Homo-oligomer: A and B are copies of this chain.
Amino acid sequence: MAVLVTGGGGFVGLNLVEALLARGEEVILFDSGVLPPAAQRALAGYGRQLNVAPADVRDAAQVNQVFESHSIDRIAHCAAVTSGAARESRDPATIIDINIRGTLNILEAARAHGVKRVVYTSSGAVYGESLYRLSRLYEESPVMPITLYGITKFSAERLCARMRALWDIDVVCARLGTVIGAWERDTGVRDNYGTHTQLAGMALAGKTAVLTPREVRRDWIYSRDVATGLIALLEAARPPHALYNLSSGIEWANPIRRWCEVLQKAYPQFEYRVAAAGEEPNIWYTDVDRNLMDVGRIAQDVGFAPKYPMREAYADYLDWLRRTPEFFG
- Chain A residues proximal to chain B, CB less than 8 Å: 85, 88-89, 92-93, 96-97, 100-101, 104, 142-143, 145-148, 151-152, 154-155, 158-159, 161-163, 166-167
Contact = CB atoms under 8 A, between A and B. Distances in A.
A166 to B, nearest CB: 4
B100 A166 contact: no
The 9 closest A-B pairs by CB, nearest first: A142-B142, A89-B166, A151-B158, A155-B155, A148-B162, A92-B104, A96-B100, A145-B158, A93-B104
Contacts of A158: 145-146, 151, 154
A130 B159 CA distance: 18
A152 B155 CA distance: 7
Contacts of A96: 100-101, 104, 159
Contact of A155 (B97, B104, B151): B151
Given A155-B155, A158-B151, A166 B101 contact: no
Nearest to A92: B104
B162 A100 contact: no
A13 B51 CA distance: 51
Given A100-B96, A142-B142, A159 B166 contact: no
A159 B100 contact: no
A294 to B, nearest CB: 16
B145 A85 contact: no
B104 A166 contact: no
Contacts of A104: 92-93, 96
A147 B163 CA distance: 9
Contacts of A146: 158, 161-162
Most buried by B among A92, A104, A143, A167: A92
Nearest to A166: B89
B155 A162 contact: no
A170 B58 CA distance: 31
Given A89-B166, A162-B88, A100 B143 contact: no
B92 A159 contact: yes
A180 to B, nearest CB: 26
A96 B166 CA distance: 16
A240 B96 CA distance: 28
A146 to B, nearest CB: 7
Contacts of A142: 142-143
B92 A163 contact: yes
A163 B101 CA distance: 19
Contact of A147 (B89, B152, B162): B162
A126 to B, nearest CB: 11
Contacts of A89: 166-167
A89 B163 CA distance: 7
Given A93-B101, A100-B100, A101-B93, A151 B162 contact: yes
Nearest to A97: B101
A198 to B, nearest CB: 24
